Amino acid sequence: MSQSFETAMNGRAALSDTPAQADVEAAVRTLLRWAGDDPNREGLLDTPSRVAKAYREFFSGYELDPEEVLSKTFSETEGYDEMVCLRDIDLKSHCEHHMVPFLGKAHVAYLPDRRVVGISKLARVVDIFARRLQIQEKLTVQIANTIDKVLRPRGTAVVIEAEHQCMTMRGVRKPGTFTVTSRMTGSFRTDPSTRKEFLAMIGR
């Protein structure tokens, strides 16, 4: 697998020339001037540093490894081998085309094969990938593929429903329009009854 493909899949930037805080703040001041405002007026004096701080939080997923989050699993399951499903995981991400938010819910399920992971870890994986510049389709695949790779379950299912502000605030301006994406692997893809059970659990 090429390094560029791996970087694209896991989303982790391998940059050696990360800009300094001062460079980021200067860029924000440039945007403020370009928008038609004065970055030196009182209300905007601290905006560049606030924006830099906010962006570090928005995109903190680049600094975290989702595979490491899933690495601690449990084998003492008393033989449990039925579906594990988390629904309505709050999701906040940013469109890589316009750098505006898309907001919604993620639903994640897997069929354990001898080992399970703490349920909070699944939500954490969603959050790590969401806190990167994304398109919803790629985000859906990254979550499912990471669970598959680390847990090696009998199947994984991910459905994301999100409203994109690049469609509601600009462009076609259609509020209330949700994009739905899914990724099914293993039994969720090959067994219609398993897929139907999952979809029923998440109310679809």
- From the list 163, 165, 166, 197, the catalytic residue is 166
The torsion of the CA quartet 62, 121, 184, 145, rounded to 10 degrees, works out to 40
Known catalytic residue: 85? Answer: no
- From the list 98, 163, 165, 197, the catalytic residue is 98
- From the list 25, 107, 134, 164, the catalytic residue is 164
- From the list 67, 68, 97, 137, the catalytic residue is 97
Tokens encoding 93: 């991400």
Known catalytic residue: 96? Answer: yes
For residue 141, which of 159, 168, 155 has the smallest C-alpha distance? 159
- From the list 107, 136, 142, 161, the catalytic residue is 136
Tokens encoding 168: 């509601």
Known catalytic residue: 142? Answer: no
Known catalytic residue: 137? Answer: no
- From the list 6, 63, 67, 96, the catalytic residue is 96
Look up residue 73 and give its amino acid. T
Known catalytic residue: 98? Answer: yes
- From the list 25, 94, 95, 142, the catalytic residue is 95
DSSP string covering 63-132: GS-HHHHT--EE--STT--S-EEEEEEEEEEEETTT--EEEEEEEEEEE-SS-EE-HHHHHHHHHHHHTS
Q: Which residues are catalytic?
A: 95-98, 136, 164, 166
